[in-house]
């Protein structure tokens, strides 16, 4: 007897590239309805604050980052303030986000580069952003998409996992994932698609126990059955990132 997962995979085994594009866009339409408030879950008011918060969000939750950034931004409102900061004081503030020594060094270092090379402003270009300490493509796209309205795909752990489960791509390398998914959707959709996939990954399609039976795109997913297929049991797995993960 084939498993639920095997049956799901078979349904899409002969899908054409056009069929995959149509299915991808249909999934996106459903997620748009399910997550009308999808957005960047980091709190920020300026591009500089978003850049700092995104660097701090590596290996931790947005909730935890949001718990310390008010104190950080009050103490160091501008890049020049952070560039001249005492590292020990910054480490103390960012400590709850983990890897606090490296993160403190990165955010002080990037503030110094902003002051020295960019007149104290966050540059709105991918190439310039990825040259800042602690900033990779993912962080750069978060900043570009949310602070500057420059479309970008944010290939984080949720995004990568979901697009592979959806059968949109088999690529593992984030840059190749970005290219493959970029071909399925118009650029204007990239930033919000990223938010919606990340919302779905945090709330329903979890890494270890996806709540398949409670998933609004189950009918369109070749990985249905990876997690709990029973609707009642799956409903108990739904999770919302309301509290930091200990």
Work out how close the CB of 220 gets to ligand SF4 at its nearest, in angstroms, rounded to a whole number. Answer: 8
Tell me which stretch binds ligand SF4 (CB under 6 A): 66-74, 113-121, 124-132, 222-230: 222-230
Under rule CB under 6 A, how many of the chain's residues touch ligand SF4?
A: 14
How far is it, in rounded angstroms, from Cα 205 to Cα 165?
9
Q: Are 181 and 151 in contact (CB under 8 A)?
A: no
Q: 26, 81, 138, 233: which one is catalytic? A: 138
Cβ-count burial 151-188 (b if 16+ within 10 Å, e if not): bbbbbbebbbbbbebbbbbebeebeebbebbbebbeee
- Residue 40 among known ligand-binding residues: no
Whether 189 is catalytic: no
Residue among 160, 215, 151 at smallest CA distance from 186: 151
Q: Which is nearer to ligand SF4, 138 or 203 (CB)?
A: 203
Interaction of residue 205 with ligand SF4, rule CB under 6 A: yes
Q: Which is nearer to ligand SF4, 110 or 163 (CB)?
A: 163
Length of the chain: 246
Work out how close the CB of 185 gets to ligand SF4 at its nearest, in angstroms, rounded to a whole number. Answer: 17
Residue among 78, 129, 126, 69 at smallest CA distance from 103: 69
Work out how close the CB of 222 gets to ligand SF4 at its nearest, in angstroms, rounded to a whole number. Answer: 8
Return the percent helix, strand and coil in the chain, to nearest 5: 60, 0, 40
Q: Are 119 and 108 in contact (CB under 8 A)?
A: no
Residues 159-198 that bind ligand SF4 (CB under 6 A): 165
Q: 62, 103, 156, 230: which one is catalytic? A: 156
How far is it, in rounded angstroms, from Cα 111 to Cα 132?
9
- Residue 215 among known ligand-binding residues: yes
Helix (H/G/I), strand (E/B), else coil: 60: coil
Interaction of residue 204 with ligand SF4, rule CB under 6 A: yes
Q: Which is nearer to ligand SF4, 76 or 168 (CB)?
A: 168
Residue among 243, 134, 152, 165 at smallest CA distance from 193: 152
Written as six digits, the tokens of 178 are 């970005």
Interaction of residue 134 with ligand SF4, rule CB under 6 A: no
Whether 156 is catalytic: yes
Interaction of residue 224 with ligand SF4, rule CB under 6 A: yes
Work out how close the CB of 204 gets to ligand SF4 at its nearest, in angstroms, rounded to a whole number. Answer: 5
Binding residues: 205, 212, 215, 221
Interacting residues toward ligand SF4 by CB under 6 A: 165, 204-205, 210-212, 215, 217-218, 221, 223-224, 226-227
Annotated catalytic residues are 138, 156
């Amino acid at each position: 007897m084939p498993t639920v997962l095997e049956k799901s995979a078979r349904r899409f085994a002969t899908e054409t590239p056009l069929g995959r594009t149509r299915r991808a866009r249909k999934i996106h339409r459903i997620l748009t309805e399910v997550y009308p408030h999808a957005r960047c879950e980091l709190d920020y008011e300026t591009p500089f604050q978003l850049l700092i918060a995104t660097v701090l969000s590596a290996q931790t939750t947005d909730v935890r980052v949001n718990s310390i950034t008010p104190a950080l931004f009050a103490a160091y409102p501008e890049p020049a303030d952070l560039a001249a900061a005492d590292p020990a004081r910054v480490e103390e503030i960012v400590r709850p986000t983990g890897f606090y020594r490296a993160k403190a060094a990165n955010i002080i270092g990037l503030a110094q580069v902003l002051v020295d090379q960019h007149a104290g402003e966050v540059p709105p270009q991918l190439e310039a952003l990825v040259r800042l300490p602690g900033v990779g493509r993912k962080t750069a796209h978060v900043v570009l998409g949310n602070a500057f309205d420059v479309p970008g795909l944010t290939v984080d752990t949720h995004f990568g996992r979901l697009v592979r489960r959806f059968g949109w791509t088999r690529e593992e390398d984030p840059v190749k994932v970005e290219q493959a998914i970029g071909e399925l959707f118009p650029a204007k959709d990239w930033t919000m698609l990223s938010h919606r996939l990340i919302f779905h990954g945090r709330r329903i399609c979890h890494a270890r126990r996806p709540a398949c039976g409670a998933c609004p795109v189950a009918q369109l997913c070749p990985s249905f059955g990876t997690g709990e297929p029973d609707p009642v049991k799956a409903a108990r797995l739904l999770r919302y990132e309301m509290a930091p993960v200990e």
